[in-house]
Homo-oligomer: A and B are copies of this chain.
Amino acid sequence: MPDWGKQGFLTQADTEVMAKFLQNEPPAPPELSLQQMKDSWQLITPVEERPVAPETTRDWQNYFIVTLRDAGQVAIIDGDTYEVVNTVDSGYAVHITRMSASGRYAYVIGRDGRLALIDLWMEKPEVVARVQICYDARSVEVSKYEGPEGDFRDKYAITGCYWPPHFAILDGQTLEPMKVVSSRSYTYDTGEFHPEPRVASILASHFKPEWIVNIKETGQVWIVNYTDPQNPSIKMIEAALFLHDGGWDSTKRYFMVAANQSNKIAVVDALEGDLEALVDTPAVPHPGRGANWIDPEFGPVWSSPHLGDPAVVSVATDPVNHPENAWKSVRVTPLPGSGSLFIKTHPNSKWIWVDMTLNSDPVLARTICVIAKDDPAEVHKCWEVSTYGRAVHMEYNKQGTEVWISVWGDAANPGETGEIVIYNDATLEEKTRIKDLITPTGKFNVYNTVNDIY
């Protein structure tokens, strides 16, 4: 507990009241029914009133949707001109943005469970629908499958919640809530009932009409078939406790998901629908979606940094041509510090970028490093991105020529609220800055997000 007594925030009497209050059994937070979601639903611009073709001459596929964390907003920034095309209200402290399979729509999920749908074809992109899906959310994804079983592109969205613990399926064009499924069940290992297993990352398969839904406290990966969303089919795979974030390997067959407090990467085979492997890692892997590249010694790998260890770990992902290495942690590249949240690369790049955002040293927290793919034993270069705040989350532009990095500042401190620093990926030289943004954190390039390029 913070020393609020010493600091003078609380008197002795205040402290005693607080101590007594804390000894009460906390009440269960409220549930949220499908009907309540529907009641909160706002269809601001019906589908028939939206553009039938892009109204803008900008390359909307090169837009970046940038979380302005403390403002409860996102900025839509033109990746070619660096102009802020619009800033719109979203939920609070947006966790992620995902695009519809066509890229036209951006789905923005706040930690407060508020979901906003933005139409990027508008001259000035605006929120066309909103809905409150829960009270504490982290994930949103879309249906991406097109094939013999149907064309589901731009059809459905799915949200994952921490509280109430559930996922919900929504109409992808309007956000109308269609279905809610509880994640409450038993832990995969001891079969203990867990009353609030949080829904962490969700990924859409490119090959099947399925979402991969990660349930944190039960350690289960649920493969949800969405061909009949009112009557979904779910395969419940035993994996590892504390599943959190992850991404595809380069073939998009294997989903690499960090089991963060278990210090493992779980490898899920999305084609077979089963657990392929569990890989031990250092403390608390946090890959975001990870980074795919070709290691000169070990072949195709997928890499993750760690919150609890100063290391990028690369896991070999090619069981066909490098079976002896597959699903092993083949390389550890040391970093100057731990506290990493994200890693990023691009197929055209010779670099892997990594942050150390939550390092307790303020200098390291604003430092990023790059690793050279052709010499990955050590970091190639590290530097401070700014003189204040934390450096967080790298994203490539559509062309794969620039890397955008957020400086997460202090919303209450004018001049240091935050900015985006843009680097030339080839030279690692700074190109420009987009200044005076309110606490920018995650940012999602339309093209790269649609195509799962990382």
Contact = CB atoms under 8 A, between A and B. Distances in A.
A33 B191 contact: yes
A203 to B, nearest CB: 18
Interface string A268-293: 00000011000000000000000000
A58 interface: no
Interface stretch (A176-184, A304-312, A318-326, A411-419): A176-184
Interface string A337-352: 0000000000000000
B230 A35 contact: no
B228 A35 contact: no
- The residue in A180, A191, A228 that gathers the most chain B C-beta atoms within 10 A of its C-beta is A191
Interface string A29-53: 0010111010000000000000000
A149 interface: no
Given A181-B185, A184-B182, A190 B34 contact: yes
Interface string A349-388: 0000000000000000000000000000000000000000
Contacts of A238: 230-231
A166 interface: yes
A33 B193 contact: yes
A172 interface: no
Interface of A: 31, 33-35, 37, 164, 166, 177, 179-182, 184-186, 190-193, 228, 230-238, 274-275
14 contacts: A31-B193, A33-B191, A34-B190, A34-B191, A181-B186, A182-B182, A182-B185, A182-B186, A230-B238, A231-B236, A231-B275, A232-B236, A233-B233, A234-B236
